[in-house]
Structures are given as C-alpha cells and as structure tokens.
C-alpha cells in the first residue's frame, strides 16, 4: 500500500549519534523505514573492529556498544509490529546499483539489511500472519517470490543465505494460506521462463516439508498442516522427477547435485512417498553410485539420503518389499566384493585398507541403520543371506576408531531384543544358535572396545567422561550377550581372553612394559564385572582365577585398581560362598582406601562384601577395626592441620561419602553377626561391645563439638551427624525395632537402642542446633537424623520423644527460618497424624510455624527470595490437611493459608508451585469428603463434628477462593506458571476438578470472567466439561486441549476470535 513520503522528525533519527533516545515507532512506512535503516547502521557499526582501548578509544567504543543495544531493542520491537511487513518488503526491494563488486562495504551493508528483512518476514510468516487481512496474502506471496527470484540470480555467499531465508518465508506462508498448488505453480511460473533458477527452486522445494513440519510454525487451524502434508505426499513424484531432470542437464554442476541430494533427504525424512515410485526412480542407482568412492564430494550427502530411505521404509511393511529388494543388493555391493575371481575390493574394504575415517563412518552408519530397519528380515526363517549383513555390522563394530565402532551398539541391543522376543522357544533357540558365532566374535570385539585409550591420563575431564560413557554402553552389550548365550558361556569366553592377555603381558621383555600394558587386563575385568548378575555362586572355572589374579595386579595403576575393587564388590555373593579367596583381597581393598582415585571403589566393594556376610564370611570385627583406623587417621590429620582447633582447614584422607560407605558396611556386618549370636543365645554378651565401639567415639566427638569453647566449624558437626544417621539406619539389634525397621512398635522387651541413643545424645544435638543456628546443612543433616530415628524406632516407641522433637523443630525454625525444620515437621505429621492423642500437639506446631512463615513472607519479593520455605511450608500444611485436618479447618489459620497460597501460586519456581497446589488439592479433597460425611450425619475419628468442619471450610473457600481460581485460570492461559498441569497430587487440573465436585456453581461464577480472551469454541468446550462433571481422566484431557489452544492463541496474538 502506498504511504505518503515523510522525513524523520527532529531528534528521531539519531539512533547512532551521541545522547540518542530510543525513538517511537511510526505507522508511516517511510519514516519507519528510515528509522530501521539507522538502527541497522548502528547495529553493524558496533560490530566492527575497534582500536585498542587507549586515550579516547575506550569511551567511543562504549558509546557505540550502548547505541547498538538501543538499536537492537528498537529493532526487536519493530519486528513485532504490523508495519514491519511493508518496511521489510521495501528493504528487500532496495536498488542494487550501489552494491557492485568494487564497493564491498556497500554490498555488505545491503546484504545485511536484506537478510534482516528476510529473517523478519520469515518469523512473521510463521507466527504473526494474523496481522494481515486474508485477501492480502496472495500479494505477499507474489512479492516474496519476486525477491526470492531476484536474489537467487546473484552469486555471492551472503545472497545464498538470503535466498534460503526467503525460501523459508515462502514455504511458511504457503502452509498458512493453504497454497496447495505451490509445486506446479513454481515450476510453471518460475522454472519454465527462467531455467537458471533450477538450483534455487531445488532449495525452495527442500525447505517445503521442513517448514510444514516445524513446531515453530503456528497455525490458527492445525488441520491446515495435515492438509498440506497430504498434498506433499501426493506431489512427491513430481519432486523426484524434477530432481531427476535436473541431473540430465549438460555439464551438471557439483552444486546442483548437492542441491538434489539435500532436497531428496528432506522429502524422505518428512514425506512418506509411495515406495514403488522410489523403487523405479533412476535416482536410486545414482545415489548409490555416489557412495562408490568415499572421497567423492557427494559422499556424505548420499549417505544421509540412503539412511533416510532405509529408515522411512523398514521391512515390517509389505508395501516396502519391492523397494527393499532393490536396496539390499545396492547396499551389499558397498560392503561385499563381487564373488568372481580377481574382483576388485568393495568400497567398504577400500576404506578399511586406507583407514579412511570419514568413509568408514558413512558405511558403518548405512550398514547399522539398514540392520535396524530390516531386523524382521534378519530374524526371518527364510534364508536370505541375512548373516552377511550381520557380518558387515560386526566388522564395523571392530573398527579401531571407537567413535565409529560405537555407532553399531544400538543395532546389537535391538538384535538381542528381537531374538529374545521370538516365539516359539524352539525357533528362538534355532536363531540364537544360527548367530552364535557372530555373538562370540562380538564379545571379543567388546573387550577391545572396553580398553581405555593409551593416553587416558592426559585427556581432559570431559573427554574422560565420554570414554566412561562409551564403556558403559559397551558393557551393556556384553550383558545383552549373556541373555542369549548364558552367563557361563560369556564368562568362559572373556576368561579365556583374560588369560591370553595376562600371558601376553607377562611375556613382555621389561617390567616397565608390563606395568604400562594394563589396558587389556582392565577391559576384561570390566567386562567380567558387568556379568555379575548372570554368574552363579558355584562357578568354579573363571572366578577363582580372577580372584587370585586381583591381589597380584600392579598396585600403582589407579584405573586398573578401581575396576578390580568394583569387581570384588560385584562378586561379593560368590565370595560369600568361597571365603577362602577373601583373605588377600581385604588388605588389597583397605590399601585402596588410601589412594584418592580408588577410594570410592574400595569403599563400595567393602560395603558390598559386608552385605553378603554369613556364617562363613564374618567381617564385622575386621571392618570395624578398619573403620576405626580411618576415623582416627582423619581426626589426627584434622587436629594437626587445625592447630588451635579452628574449623575445617584440612582435608581428610578419605572423603566423608566414602567413609560412610565403609561405616554402612560395618553396621550391616555387625548386624549379621549379632543375628547369628542371637540364634545361638549369646547376643547379650556382644551387643553392648559393638554398640560402644560404634557409638561411643561419635558421642565423645559430639560432646567436644557442642562445648561452648569449641571453635570447630559446621563441617565437622555435619560429619558426626552423618555417621550417627548411618548407624541409626543400618545397625539392626536382634529383638528390637531398630535401624532399617518399619513404623511398628519395638518387637523386643523394652525400648530399642535407637531410642536410648537419641535420649542420650539429645542435649548434644540440641546444643549443636543452637550453636550452628543459621547453617542450612547442619539443619538438613539434623532433621534427616530425626526422620530416620523416628522411622527406625517406630512411632509407638518414639512417642516419648515426640514432644521435645516438636518443641525443638518449632524453636529452631523460628530462630533460623531454615526449610529443613519444616520438612521434619511434615514427617512428624505423616507418622503421628492419625493418632488422636497427638493431633492437638501437631496442630500447635503447625500454628506456630505458620506464624513464623507469615511474618517472613509479607511481599512477593519475600516469596521469591524463599522458594524452599514456600515449598516445604505448603507441603507441611498439605500433609496436615491429609492426615488430621479438623483443628486446622476450624481455626482462623486456614484463611491465612489460603491467602498465602494465592500468592505462592504466582511464584516462578517448580517445587514451590508444586507444594502450593498440593496443599490446595488436599484442602479441597478434604472438603469433598467432609460434605459426604456430613450428609450421613457422621463425625471424624478425632471427635470433631463433620458439619462444623464443612461450614468452616465453605466459609474459607467462599472468602478466599476467587483469587485462587483466578490464578488457576491464568496458569491455563499461560500468564502464570503451569509446571504441574495434570500430573500427580497437586496439579492445576486436580484442584479445578475437586473444586468442581465441591462447589460447581461458585467455580463457574469465578472462572468465566477469567476466560474472556479465550476463543469462544475452546471456552465453551472447557466449561462444558465442568458442567458435565466428567471423570478425572476426561477432565485432564480437556485441560490439555484447552491449554494447547490457549498457547496457540497467544502465539497468534490473542483475541477472542475463533481459533
């Protein structure tokens, strides 16, 4: 549309000048065009290279960057405006006479402006087509095609990117306006009069299915996408014919051939064309001809196209048979030589000989993808020479380059899964036997792939992580082989390989060579470790050799030692049946604790051995002695490093997490020994001894740490709390409800040792909590100890400790405002909430904690600064509503909680949002249940009147329900967070569904005004599900559909029109 000419108003065109203000946008196209041009100049001027920051240069550079930021903000605003359609069209139509080859700067400036315009139009065609009247879309299409054609005739590198972006805009627009005749129209109107545009049109056709399938293309009606996709499927043959004709031109260029392959790849990926058409196309043999030489410039593109063919047309569908019969010999010709005498090597063999990494990667991808796609043929009883393809994949697995070899691992996973699923059993075993030679060879290849690189010690941490990840995947392949051949057969094969490797290393001439050549042995041990689930405890061929070998391995190779340690741990149950092999292994593991890289593996192995203790394998005393030495060493080192006792400067020889693994193992070993002693009637003699050995040192250290004169930091306190927690969790005293127990009363005569332990340590724990009042981690570990002590001793036995526990939690939270105390309070409600005798006590705790929370959360900034408090507080309140809601419902506190929840729902924090919704759903769910109970004239188990509770809850919801419903509606519309839409307890859909059960009229009254901007049809459908009171699953589906429509409506610019 023509606009009157105008000039930039005074002060409005100085985006790049000093002291410039961000100008207002104009609806006048000429003015806006000038402003945009100035902004673009500022952007690209700020991207130029500046002189070093000396004298006045620094100031000038800062000014330029400041102007660039303002110009960028201006352009970002501009791109969302309706006027941008015409301005960008004008930018693309700028004359080119000033941008000739002799004026590189002018040419670059023009290209930059045009690319910005094309990028803007592409984005708007995807998401903002609603800004234009429908009758203007054909004009926009014609203009874009004209710009596309003009730019395609230029040959500069910048113009190529511009052509692509304009093509993307044309394709996005074609879907939006349902231009289903785009392919014949472009061919007739662009290609016929201008054959030189063939390459550009290939690029356009390549982009067409990509744009149609893009998630970023926002359509007012999603059915348009389906219709357009159907058109693409119907027109696929025209694209293949066009690509074929493009290759028939005389002296066809390499660039044209590349365009053809790129176009085919895009259509194969997104458009399921008729396989018979591809089968008969002359393009198929041409594509494979491009693969005959991996040095061919078209090789990588041809690889991608072939992979798309085998992926799109798997052997599972009968309609693909003809194409598959055509493809298989073409692929086999790449990998296998002609069977005739003196036949040349196949392309794959040539690449193997030349160690051509790029070529091998391409062939490996093709063979592997083909194997996965044609797996039903590989498993077929019909003899189709399937073993040849499996052999090709096997050869690829053995390629020395691990990155290439690992490409095949997913094939082997599918291969095993298919074999396992074959029915009947006899046929399955026949196919397994058929492929057993290949599986055995695969095991040998896997042990090679498991080897660490020889330069592992010099690799970066990221690269080492990659190596470890790849080894994990290879070890899974070894496990897969066990499922087919059985653990014994696989273990024997790897055991033979281990013996061969040990003999080879032993034959090396020098000791230095033997020490440095450990990688193969380690790989075999790693493979054996991964088999532990499949090896019976009576295995007597390989495992004795392995266990005798481990103590003889070089002690100074950390990676080898780690694997050896972990292997011992994984075979703890085998060692439990063969304890005679353990004697030299325990010192080996203990020594590993002092080596930093091996400590974790050693600690885990010791714990796993302790878990398998039995009458033959009694490790309690020896591991306790080892643990005592560990702690003594650490305390000594810390004392020496601290000097005067100031906290935390020294690093213990063993990380705390590793020490706790050993302590856990000691507790389990001691528990087993006490169990055996109890069976013999001698447990009373040894129980007190073990308890003293485990607990007394911790008590002494806690006493010292709690003393007023102690200056030790929280790190040492945390360590002692962690140790105490491990003992509470994993030490089991026979005849008592102790660590690891359930929530029952103690089974023995008298309190459990946990109760005695907590009573004796209570003053120390209380003093420590006061001394380190503001330390989050001390609070977290202390509350974790309380949780495990309560659950381990059982609720009945622990009742005597409940009152001091609640008092401590309430006081500590009021003093510290730390969320772990809220979490511990929730645990108390979970365990005692159903006990009528404790309900008032629990409510008193919740009431005091609520007052503390309300005093600290007064503004939205307070909520934002304390998301963990919001999360745990509402989980606490939600648990109260779930377990013992009556005193809370009948108190004024409920109104405050609902008001607080209405604010918490607005928080941009996933867990805080989840806690808030959990409380709301539990509250409304209780309302639904109490209404039903009140109708029956009942009362709660705690003696409260259901009618009183019903009336109190209704008053609270009537008073404060509307802000909550408004927030729920805003979350559906996308204006507030919707982290939990319909999943689990505590979701938007859950709260709405329960509110609809409790007060349907009020809900409709509140929610209707909040949905005024929603398309009428979507609003009617959603409200209809509320009126009909559909099931929860149906309502969840309705919510998801509604949110999807709202999201699309927002992307399209909102409004109340039909979507």
Same-domain status, 247 and 366: no
Contact 74, 39 (CB under 8 A): yes
Length of the chain: 1059
At which residue do the structure tokens 């550079």 appear?
61
Residue with tokens 């002590």, as numbered in its chain:
789
Cα 753 from Cα 671, distance rounded (Å): 13
| pLDDT 10s digits, 629-687 | 888 887 777 666 555 443 443 334 789 999 999 999 999 999 998 888 887 776 666 88
Residues 919 and 955 in one domain: yes
Q: How many CB atoms lie within 10 A of CB 711?
A: 10
Return the CA Rg of the chain: 37
Q: Are residues 281 and 269 in the same domain?
A: no
- 428 and 404 housed in the same domain: no
> Which residues, including other chains, have CB under 8 Å from residue 436's CB and lie 6 or more apart?
485
Task: Give 698's contacts (C-beta < 8 A, 6+ positions apart).
Answer: 720, 723, 724, 727
CB 271 within 8 A of CB 233: yes
Is there a single domain that holds both residue 1000 and residue 853? yes
Asked, for residue 607, whether it belongs to a domain, the answer is no
- On whether residue 658 sits in a domain, the answer given is no
Q: Do 597 and 569 meet the contact criterion of CB atoms below 8 Å apart? A: no
Whether residue 588 is contained in a domain is answered as no
Domain check: are 373 and 417 in the same one? yes
Non-local CB neighbours of 647 within 8 Å, separated by 6+ positions: 711, 712, 713, 714, 715, 716
- Asked whether residue 304 is domain-assigned, the answer is yes
Q: Cα-flanking dihedrals φ and ψ of residue 102, to 5°?
A: -85, -10
Co-location of 264 and 320 in the same domain: no
Q: Among residues 383, 401, 421, which one ends one of the domains?
A: 421
Query: Rounded distance, CA 903 to CA 249, Å?
Result: 69
How high is the pLDDT of residue 939? 60
Answer yes or no: is 339 within a domain. Answer: yes
pLDDT tens digit sequence for 966-991: 999 999 999 999 998 988 788 999 99
Residues 440 and 530 in one domain: yes
The residue whose two tokens read 């982290």 is 979
One domain for residues 282 and 303: yes
Q: pLDDT averaged over consecutive 10-residue blocks of the chain (1059 residues)? A: 40 43 82 92 64 54 79 92 96 70 70 94 95 95 96 75 96 97 96 93 98 93 94 97 92 94 98 96 96 94 98 95 96 80 84 95 98 96 92 96 94 95 94 96 95 93 94 94 95 97 94 92 97 95 97 94 97 94 93 93 96 83 90 73 44 80 95 84 76 91 92 92 96 67 39 88 95 96 97 92 97 97 98 95 98 96 97 98 95 96 95 96 95 74 80 94 96 92 89 95 94 89 94 94 88 53
Of residues 625, 777, 769, the one with CA closest to residue 702: 769
Name which of 990, 1050, 994, 995 is nearest 1018 in CA terms: 1050
Encoded tokens for 540: 């007597």
- Token pair 């058929």: residue: 434
648-687 burial code (b ≥16 CB/10 A, e <16): eeeebbbeeebbbbbbbbbbbbbbbbbebbbeeeebeebb
- Under DSSP, the state recorded for 837 is G
| Residue 785 · residue 827 · CB < 8 Å | no
Asked if residues 655 and 619 have their Cβ atoms less than 8 Å apart, the reply is no
Same domain for 253 and 299, yes or no, is no
Instruction: Tell me how far apart the alpha carbons of residues 1023 and 1028 are, in angstroms, rounded to a whole number.
Output: 9
Longest dimension (CA), the chain: 106
Q: How far apart are CA 896 and CA 146, in angstroms?
A: 65
Structure tokens at 254: 């390499």
| CA 727 and chain centroid, separation | 34
In a domain, 529, yes or no: yes
Q: Is 613 helix (H, G, I), strand (E, B) or coil?
A: coil
**DSSP assignment letter at 597:** G
* Residue ranges making up the domain that contains 495: 424-535
- For the record, the structure tokens of 373 come out as 């796609």
DSSP 454-466: TTGGGS-HHHHHH
Domain boundary among 204, 239, 273: 273
789: number of Cβ within 10 Å? 23
Give domain status of residue 99, yes or no.
no
> Which contiguous run of DSSP H or E holds residue 831?
helix 820-832
On whether residue 816 sits in a domain, the answer given is no
Query: Do 862 and 1005 lie in a common domain?
Result: yes
Our count of domains for the chain comes to 4
Handedness of CA 833, 839, 843, 849 (dihedral sign): negative
Q: Last residue of a domain, which of 240, 258, 273?
A: 273
Phi, psi of 939 (to 5 degrees): -140, 160
Give the count of beta carbons closer than 10 Å to the beta carbon of residue 1056. 12
Q: Are residues 463 and 361 in the same domain?
A: no
């Amino acid at each position: 549309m023509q606009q009157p000419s105008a000039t930039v108003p005074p002060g409005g065109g100085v985006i790049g000048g000093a002291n410039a203000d961000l100008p207002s946008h104009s609806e006048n196209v000429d003015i806006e065009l000038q402003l945009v041009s100035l902004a673009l100049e500022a952007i690209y001027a700020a991207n130029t290279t500046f002189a070093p920051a000396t004298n006045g240069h620094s100031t000038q550079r800062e000014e330029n960057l400041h102007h660039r930021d303002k110009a960028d903000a201006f352009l970002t605003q501009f791109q969302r405006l309706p006027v941008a359609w015409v301005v960008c069209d004008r930018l693309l139509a700028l004359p080119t006479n000033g941008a000739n080859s002799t004026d590189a700067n002018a040419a670059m400036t023009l290209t930059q402006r045009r690319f910005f315009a094309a990028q803007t139009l592409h984005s708007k065609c995807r998401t903002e087509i609603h800004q234009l009247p429908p009758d203007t879309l054909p004009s926009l299409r014609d203009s874009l095609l004209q710009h596309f054609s003009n730019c395609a005739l230029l040959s500069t590198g910048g113009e190529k990117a511009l052509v692509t972006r304009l093509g993307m805009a044309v394709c996005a627009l074609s879907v939006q306006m349902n231009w289903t005749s785009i392919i014949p129209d472009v061919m007739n109107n662009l290609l016929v009069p201008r054959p030189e545009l063939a390459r550009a049109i290939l690029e356009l056709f390549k982009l067409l299915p990509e744009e149609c399938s893009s998630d970023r293309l926002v359509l007012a009606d999603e059915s348009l996408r389906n219709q357009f996709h159907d058109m693409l499927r119907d027109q696929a043959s025209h694209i293949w014919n066009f690509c074929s004709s493009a290759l028939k031109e005389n002296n066809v260029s390499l660039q044209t051939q590349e365009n053809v392959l790129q176009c085919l790849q895009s259509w194969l990926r997104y458009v399921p064309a008729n396989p018979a058409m591809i089968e008969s196309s002359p393009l198929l043999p041409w594509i494979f001809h491009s693969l005959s030489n991996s040095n061919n410039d078209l090789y990588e593109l041809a690889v991608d196209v072939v992979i798309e063919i085998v992926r799109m047309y798997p052997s599972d569908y009968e309609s693909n048979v003809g194409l598959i019969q055509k493809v298989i010999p073409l692929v086999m010709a790449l990998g296998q030589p002609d069977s005739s005498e003196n036949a040349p090597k196949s392309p794959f063999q040539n690449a193997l000989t030349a160690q051509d990494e790029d070529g091998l990667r391409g062939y490996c991808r093709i063979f592997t993808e083909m194997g996965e796609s044609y797996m039903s043929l590989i498993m077929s009883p019909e003899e189709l020479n399937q073993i040849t393809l499996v052999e090709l994949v096997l050869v690829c697995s053995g390629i020395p380059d691990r990155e290439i070899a690992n490409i095949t691992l997913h094939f082997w996973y599918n291969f095993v899964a298919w074999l396992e699923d074959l029915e009947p059993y006899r046929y399955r075993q026949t196919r397994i036997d058929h492929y057993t030679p290949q599986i055995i060879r695969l095991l040998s290849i896997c042990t090679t792939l498991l080897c660490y690189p020889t330069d592992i010690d010099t690799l970066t941490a990221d690269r080492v992580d990659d190596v470890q990840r790849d080894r994990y995947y290879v070890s899974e392949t070894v496990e897969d082989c066990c499922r087919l051949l059985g653990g014994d057969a696989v273990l024997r094969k790897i055991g033979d390989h281990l013996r061969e490797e040990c003999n080879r290393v032993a034959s090396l001439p020098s000791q230095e060579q033997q020490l440095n050549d450990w990688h193969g042995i380690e790989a075999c041990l790693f493979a054996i470790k991964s088999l532990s689930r499949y090896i019976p405890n009576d295995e007597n061929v390989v495992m004795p050799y392995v266990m005798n070998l481990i103590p003889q391995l070089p002690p100074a190779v950390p990676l080898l030692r780690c694997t050896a340690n972990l292997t011992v741990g994984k075979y703890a149950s085998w060692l439990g049946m063969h304890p005679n092999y353990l004697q030299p292994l325990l010192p080996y593991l203990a020594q590993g604790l002092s080596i930093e890289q091996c400590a974790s593996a050693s600690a885990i192995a010791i714990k796993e051995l302790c878990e398998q203790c039995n009458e033959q394998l009694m490790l309690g005393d020896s591991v306790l002695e080892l643990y005592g030495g560990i702690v003594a060493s650490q305390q000594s080192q810390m004392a020496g490093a601290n000097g005067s006792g100031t906290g935390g400067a020294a690093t213990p020889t063993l990380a705390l997490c590793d020490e706790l693994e050993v302590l856990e193992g000691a507790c389990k070993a001691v528990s087993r020994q006490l169990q055996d002693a109890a069976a013999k009637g001698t447990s009373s003699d040894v129980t007190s001894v073990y308890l003293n050995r485990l607990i007394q040192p911790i008590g002494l250290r806690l006493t010292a740490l709690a003393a007023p004169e102690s200056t030790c930091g929280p790190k040492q306190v945390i360590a002692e709390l962690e140790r105490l927690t491990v003992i509470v969790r994993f030490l089991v005293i026979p005849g008592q409800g102790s660590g690891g127990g359930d929530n029952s009363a103690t089974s023995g005569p008298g309190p459990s040792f946990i109760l005695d332990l907590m009573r004796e340590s209570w003053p120390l724990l209380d003093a420590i909590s006061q001394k380190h009042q503001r330390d989050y981690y001390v609070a977290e570990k202390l509350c974790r100890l309380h949780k495990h002590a309560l659950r381990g001793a059982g609720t009945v036995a622990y009742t005597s400790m409940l009152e001091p526990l609640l008092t401590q939690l309430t006081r500590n939270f009021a003093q510290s405002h730390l969320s772990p105390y809220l979490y511990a309070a929730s645990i108390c409600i979970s365990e005692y909430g159903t006990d009528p005798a404790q309900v008032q006590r629990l409510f008193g705790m919740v009431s005091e904690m609520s007052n503390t929370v309300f005093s600290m959360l007064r503004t939205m900034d307070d909520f934002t600064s304390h998301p963990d408090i919001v999360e745990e507080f509402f989980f606490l309140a939600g648990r109260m509503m779930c377990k013992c809601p009556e005193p809370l419902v009948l108190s004024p506190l409920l109104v405050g909680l609902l008001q607080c929840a209405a604010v918490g729902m607005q928080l941009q924090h996933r867990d805080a949002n989840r806690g808030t919704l959990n409380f709301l759903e539990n509250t409304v769910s209780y309302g639904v249940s109490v209404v039903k109970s009140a109708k029956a004239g009942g009362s709660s188990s705690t003696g409260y009147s259901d009618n009183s509770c019903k009336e109190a809850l209704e008053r609270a919801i009537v008073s404060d329900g509307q802000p909550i419903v408004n927030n729920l509606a805003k979350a559906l519309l996308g204006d507030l967070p919707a982290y939990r839409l319909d999943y689990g307890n505590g979701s938007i859909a859950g709260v709405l569904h329960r509110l609809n059960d409790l007060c349907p009229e009020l809900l409709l009254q509140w929610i209707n005004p909040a949905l005024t901007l929603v398309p009428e049809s979507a609003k009617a459908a959603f409200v209809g599900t509320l009126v009909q009171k559909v099931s929860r699953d149906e309502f969840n589906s309705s919510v998801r559909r509604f949110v999807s429509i709202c999201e699309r409506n927002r992307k399209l610019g909102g409004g109340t029109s039909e979507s």
